[in-house]
């Protein structure tokens, strides 16, 4: 399984569409990290970009994020990527929290500093 986390450096970015990159973890059957790659991202609105399609093309099935707007959530779900929000801290620690049962929150960002 592949899990993506929007990151700035090693830290989960607080907003999906404004991330420097996406760290994509590949897990084996025992849910251990087999490999990881960093996919650079164009900063911008996640709901208006093709990030969901790019992540899906890489085989991502789950996205763990700080927060994002409903438009981005909808696009990810249309690309068959399950979304969990409300995380903060180092990406690998967030991944471990998710794997141990922490499914984040359902808070949706409704504050954007750009026009929709």
Tens of pLDDT along 92-110? Answer: 999 999 999 998 875 554 5
Instruction: Evaluate if residue 91 carries a pLDDT over 90.
Output: yes
What are the tens digits of pLDDT across the range 23-54? 999 999 999 999 999 998 875 544 556 888 99
On whether residue 104 sits in a domain, the answer given is: no
Residue 85 inside a domain? The answer is: yes
CATH of the domain at 24: 3.30.420.130
State the total domains in the chain: 1
Average pLDDT, the chain: 85
Instruction: State pTM to two decimals.
Output: 0.85
Task: Compute the average pLDDT of residues 46-69.
Answer: 86
Q: Quick check: is 109 in a domain?
A: no
Structural domain containing residue 94: 2-99
3-state SS, residue 12: strand
Query: Rounded to an integer, what distance in angstroms lies between the CA atom of residue 83 and that of residue 46?
Result: 13
Strands 11-12 and 2-8, by their bridges, are antiparallel
Asked if residue 10 has pLDDT above 90, the reply is yes
């Amino acid at each position: 399984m592949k899990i993506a986390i929007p990151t700035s450096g090693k830290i989960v970015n607080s907003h999906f569409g404004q991330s420097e990159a996406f760290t994509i973890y590949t897990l084996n059957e025992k849910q251990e990290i087999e490999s990881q790659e960093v996919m650079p991202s164009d900063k911008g609105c996640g709901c208006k970009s093709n990030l969901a399609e790019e992540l899906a093309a890489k085989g991502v099935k789950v996205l763990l994020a700080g927060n994002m707007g409903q438009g981005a959530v909808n696009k990810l779900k249309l690309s068959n990527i399950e979304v969990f929000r409300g995380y903060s801290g180092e990406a690998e620690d967030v991944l471990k929290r998710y794997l141990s049962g922490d499914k984040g929150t359902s808070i949706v960002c409704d504050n954007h500093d750009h026009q929709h």
